[in-house]
Structure formats: C-alpha cells, structure tokens
Amino acid sequence: MSLRKVLVTGSDGFLGKALTKRLTKQGYSVKGLDLKQGTDVADWDQVKKLRGFQTIIHLAAKTFIPSSFNQPRVFYRSNFLSTVNILELSRINKAKVIFASSYVYGYPNYVPIDENHPTAAHNPYSESKLLAEKLCRGYHRDFGLQMIILRAFNLYGLGQRKEFLIPHILESLKKGKILLGEPEYKRDYVFLDDAVEAYLKAVEYEPEGLEIFNIGYGKSHSVRELVDLVKNCWGENVPVQYDENKRKGEIPDAVADIRKAKRILGWQPRIDIETGIRKLIQSMVPSRGE
C-alpha cells in the first residue's frame, strides 16, 4: 500500500482517537483537526487553506441526542456548517470524503433496516445528520466527489463519555445503584474497535460514486437486557430503578442490516455485546470481567 495522507476531523473524540491511532499504525499519514486542539471545523477561515491529503474522514459533530433538544442551534451549526466546509475542502483538493452519519431512519417500517429504508429525522441531532447527508449528495452530484457515508447505529467502547447509556450503567455500578429511563427500548450496539475497522475498510475502498453503509452488529438489545448483562458480568446484584416515562423522539427498536458492508467493504463486526461489556468492566477493575 502506498502511503496515503488522511485528514480526520474530530480526531480527539471518542471514535477519532481510536481511528487516528489505527490509521497511523497501518502506515497512513494522518492530520487531525479537533475543537479541543483549537480548530473549529465549522469556521471556514480556520480550514480553507489546508492541503495535501487524499481522503477526509469527517467525524467532528455534536452527538449527545438529549442535548440537541436543549441546544439545537449549536447542533445545527456544528454538524451542518462543518460538513459544508469539509465538502468544499474536498472539492478544492479533489479528495475522497468519508462522512460519519448516524441512525437516520426514524420509526422503522421493518427490521433489520437496510440502506434503502426511508430516512426520517426524529430529533434535532438526526435532522442535522440528514441535512449533512443531503449536502454530501449535492456535492457528489454537482462536482463528482467520491463519497462514502457510514451510518453507525449505537457505538460504545473504551473512552466514551459517561452520559451515554453503557458508560452510565457501568459508572453507576461503582455507586451501588443504577437509575435509568424506559427499560424496553432496543438498540443495535457496535463496539468501538469494530467501528474503527469499518472506517479502515472505507479508507481502502474506492467508490465509483456515492455509497452508503450501515454499521452495526445486526442485533438489538433492550436497556433491561443490557443492565442484566452488565450485572451478570460484574458479579453483584446491584439495585436498579427505571423511570417508565417515554422520552420524546425515542424509537422502540432498531436493528442494522449490515449485509451491504459485508459484501462490498468486506467488513463484519467481531465483538458481541457480552464480550464488549466484559472488556469495559475489565478496563475498570482488572480483576473483574474475567
């Protein structure tokens, strides 16, 4: 493999850190951009002069869905404007774009959900991602950009912020009590390491046009199932309290159909939910999860 130069936005985030590390290990020359490092990708003046890369992986975004209801303008500015800037940067540099989208299917008509399922926003966050996807389509149509959109369902793994569900459950273990919302919502969880491999496959893949891939495990688990699994791996019967109130915009069940990613990218997840949770517990307390 010839050395390729990759620009990664959101390089200091949950996925970005792991991905830049793996890209570097694989022999890629990686330049990272992140707000934590002083670069606001949503500000064109800060990125317009960047040159010297063949691929841009655009991860930078606001992602915590509950906050999108409280700060919609912040989410739209960050997630929409940053994508405009990255696409324009790609046009100028004739670079391939890999865009980190999300679950954008709304209330599913069927499961598992394939890439041809109708899209529908169900909160400001997913609306911002759909707007960004529309920009990607426009830049591909008008300028012929190579474009890959990865729709990751629910990522989890080492280093995820504590407000997300699985880290919240694990952090609550140490306090001796778990407080959660509606227990029956089901999601498709994909471990960070598997998601990183999907991005590596996307970097290596040369699409003829615009391609969209679901990234998930292909199986969903309810909040209650996750809690039971965590408690079993932890080895103690920690008390759990659920708030049965339905949250606005919640989806009852979401399962990714990942056959396209398997067929075209040659990617498939390898870490099931029990193995992933055991890895996280092991990282918390070395004697646990063995």
Q: pLDDT per residue over 45-92, tens digit each?
A: 999 999 999 999 999 999 999 999 999 999 999 999 999 999 999 999
**Single-letter amino acid code for the residue at 287:** S
Region 26-34: what's the mean pLDDT? Answer: 97
Outline where the chain has alpha helix (H).
14-25, 44-47, 65-70, 72-76, 82-93, 124-143, 165-175, 192-204, 223-234, 259-260, 273-284
In this prediction, residue 286 carries a pLDDT of 63
* Amino acid present at 220: S
| Total residue length of the chain | 290
Element holding 240 (H helix, E strand): strand 240-242
Nearest-angstrom CA–CA distance, 45 and 165? 36
Percent of the chain with pLDDT over 70: 96
**Is residue 276 over pLDDT 50?**
yes
pTM: 0.95
What angle (nearest 5°) sits at the alpha carbon of residue 279, between those of residues 274 and 285? Answer: 120
144: left (phi over 0), alpha (psi -120 to 50) or beta: left
Tell me, rounded to whole angstroms, the distance of Cα 124 from its chain centroid.
Answer: 16
3-class DSSP state of 5: strand
Residues 6+ away with beta carbon under 8 Å from 43: 85
Is 3's pLDDT higher than 90? no
Distance CA 16, CA 153 (A): 16
Residue 199 a catalytic site member? no
- Rounded to an integer, the average pLDDT of 33-41 is 97
For residue 284, what pLDDT is reported? 82
d(CA 95, CA 234): 46
pLDDT of res. 2 = 45
Once rounded to an integer, what is the mean pLDDT over residues 186-199?
98
Query: How much is the pLDDT for 287?
Result: 54
Name the region of 196 (left: φ>0; alpha: ψ -120 to 50; beta: rest).
Answer: alpha
CB-CB contact of 193 with 227 (8 Å): no
Share of the chain above pLDDT 90, in %: 89
pLDDT surpasses 90 at 240: yes
Average pLDDT, the chain: 94
pLDDT at 1 over 50: no
Please state, in angstroms and rounded to a whole number, the distance separating the CA atoms of residues 110 and 76.
29
Residue 288, pLDDT score: 56
Catalytic residue among 76, 103, 105, 125: 125
Q: How confident is the model at residue 212 (pLDDT cuts 50, 70, 90)?
A: very high
Rounded mean pLDDT of 192-197?
98
Domains in the chain (CATH in brackets) are: 5-160+190-216+255-269 (3.40.50.720)
